[in-house]
Structure 1
């Protein structure tokens, strides 16, 4: 277990960046991480390289973005997409785990994450993996005459010889989505990327290529990574809330998804950190090349979005927030 103030080994932070929006999000992530003055966490940016599974070159194209990432302390490591690529870019987070050293603890973050405080505040127990609990009941989508939650999830646990009953949260009623182990894949961690990645890849390919019959009504696009992630975590002895609540997806990190959602719903502290870490000229010069960042952060559109919402009385569903922003003409990504 890693605790603040200990002499624990360096922890690898992994994000994936490629051409377009993700490369600018990676700059923002790196700038926010560096701003916290950490020395225990090493940032590695995995970058897909051209290959038969990509229609176009997926690499970061702007030399100024590459240079700034390195200046912010990131190491860019290439990887080849062997199984997913352009047909399922969410699979990058599965295949990118290969760039990390075997046997060293890691934390994966989606690039659309802002680091708000020192990650050393988080008492990671790398023997017991978990992932983000900031999620909605997006999968499975139950059809009237199709399999229910229990039948659907149990088929997956049975496929891989996992104990289904021990994964349930009995505080929630049968056939309610929160009873079943389900995460957002915005972050996850473990003591070894090879062990985690081998399971993640094997489970994902099995479900993609030969889904259980009980998934007949279910879409795996874009949910495949979040469908198999609970199975991986359960297999490795992890589960819900393996770190104290309120740190990741709270005081220490924010998975904002897209900037309009950040301005609409996140706490004042998140906006303060965002605008502070993007203010230096070397950061601004690069980020303003991306239109959404330029307009949201530097031209004030984000503050207009923020004025549309009461953070103490937000719509319960994210889609309602998105719809309101779109109606006002402020949606960008």
Structure 2
């Protein structure tokens, strides 16, 4: 497929569908895509991990009703095998599932806990310049008192893979401030071939997990491994921050809500309206009510009680403070 900087309407979307919470989030994603982005011309793939040695239990989607409804909403369920991660690191699904997509076709990966809130076909993707979500906090690395700083830790990783470190820096941010260094939330990413991107993502993640530079000796990689490798992968392909421009993905067009209590606590009235609208049809409601957090949050009104705890125009700066307030009031669910 030819590379272009013009907007695409023929790219593929991938989310991961797995038994339990993710299969119900996949239904909400598919319903919101169909409702909010009617001009989307591509294919929606729900990648499903298969039973194997790396899973102690069957990870597949449970129940024919969920499968049938996903298909009615336009999704294609495709299997993939876990050869490296599986139960021990389920975040690796987003890496290994890429190889199940059509080779050579542009793709966008979204975490399943994402809501489509606008016309995805209007986003001017440049699939030759990947990026990922800038809606993140400074979760990694966590600096030790006498350990290396941000610059030394990140530079060691760029050096490991032969990448230019200096060109990745945001020079508008102070030295040794976490936002100076390329760091994303892995809630979405895209490129012009899932197999090429997936192979490099896999190679980098395994190399970091199995042979990390000494500067990482005090750093936790679970659950951060995908978010440590991702900026290196994106930089290696000539990607950068905010391509396309900020305010679309994780903005006006999509919302990575993470868990429903956080959605009700901090997202816009439009996001809440989309969520409650796309989950209202009886056919959808019948299946979603099988999952207790969705039933209580959306259908029994607990979400609106969470929303009433906060001023959405004056939220706490840190997510943990929001979580603590919800938990203190007995409304936390996931």
2:293/2:333 contact within 8 Å kept: yes
State the distance in 2 between where 1:39 and 1:230 align.
28
Q: Does 1:234 align with 2:235?
A: yes
**Would the aligned equivalents of 2:9 and 2:42 in 1 still touch at CA under 8 Å?**
no
Contact kept? 1:3, 1:120, Cα under 8 Å: no
Q: Corresponding residue for 2:180?
A: 179
The CA deviation string for residues 273-309 of structure 1, in whole angstroms up to 9 with x for no partner, is: 0000000000100001000000000000000000000
1:315 and 2:308 equivalent? no
Instruction: Say yes or no: does 1:23 pair with 2:23.
Output: yes
Question: 1:124 maps to what in 2?
Answer: 125
Calculate the TM-score normalised by the size of structure 1: 0.98
2-structure distance, mates of 1:146, 1:129 = 32
CA contact (8 A) 1:12 1:106 kept: yes
Contact 1:102 1:194 in 2 (8 A): yes
**What is the distance in 2 between the residues matched to 1:88 and 1:78?**
18
Paired residues, number: 330
Q: Distance in 1 between matches of 2:61 and 2:88?
A: 19
The question of whether the paired residues in 1 share the 8 Å contact of 2:205 and 2:226 is answered with yes
Deviation at 1:117, TM superposition (A): 1.1
1:293 is paired with a residue whose SS is helix
Distance 1:47 1:191 in 2: 22
Cα-Cα RMSD: 0.9
**Aligned-residue offset at 1:150:** 0.5
Distance verdict in 2 for CA 1:248–1:208, change over 3 Å: same
Matched residue SS, 2:77: strand
Moved over 4 A (4+): none
What is the CA deviation profile of residues 167-213 of structure 1, one whole-angstrom value per residue up to 9, with x for unaligned ones? 00000111000000000000000001111001000000000011111
Confirm or deny: 8 A CA contact 1:3 1:121 kept in the other structure. no
Q: TM-score, normalised by structure 2?
A: 0.98
Secondary structure at the residue paired with 1:41? coil
Q: Distance in 1 between matches of 2:6 and 2:174?
A: 35
Contact 2:326–2:332 under 8 Å retained in 1: yes
Is the contact made by 1:18 and 1:59 (CA closer than 8 Å) also made in structure 2?
A: yes
Contact 2:265 2:306 in 1 (8 A): yes
C-alpha separation in 1, matches of 2:153 and 2:12: 35
Local SS of the residue matching 1:220: coil
Give the structure 1 partner of residue 35 of structure 2: 35
Using the TM superposition, give the Cα deviation of residue 9 of structure 1 relative to its aligned residue in structure 2, in angstroms. 6.2
Q: Map of 1:263-282 to 2, 5 A cutoff?
A: 263-282=264-283
Q: Say if 2:307 is the partner of 1:306.
A: yes
| Partner SS, residue 186 of structure 1 | strand
Segments of structure 1 that go 5 or more residues without pairing to the other structure are none
Distance 2:166 2:30 in 1: 40
**Alpha-carbon offset, residue 10 of structure 1:** 1.8
> What does 1:86-101 correspond to in 2, within 5 Å?
86-101=87-102
- Measured in 2, the distance between the counterparts of 1:66 and 1:128 equals 34
- Deviation (angstroms), 1:39: 3.6
**CA contact under 8 A between 1:17 and 1:60: conserved in structure 2?**
yes
- Give the whole-Å Cα distance in 2 for the aligned partners of 1:256 and 1:106: 21
Q: Which blocks of at least 5 consecutive residues in structure 2 are unaligned?
A: none
Residue 38 of structure 1 deviates from its aligned partner by 2.8
The aligned counterpart of 1:214 is: 215
Query: d(CA) in 1 for partners of 2:65 and 2:319?
Result: 34
Instruction: Give the drift of 1:101.
Output: 1.1
Could you report, residue by residue, the CA deviation over 1:79-111 in whole angstroms, capped at 9, with x for unpaired residues?
A: 010000000000000000011111100000000
Q: CA deviation at 1:2?
A: 5.8
Whether contact under 8 Å (2:9, 2:40) holds in the other structure is: no
Matched, 1:194 2:208: no
Is the 2:40–2:120 Cα contact (8 Å) retained in structure 1?
A: no
The answer to whether the 8 Å contact 2:106/2:191 transfers is: yes
Determine the C-alpha separation between the residues in 2 that align with 1:259 and 1:284.
Answer: 16
CA distance in 2, matches of 1:305, 1:274: 15
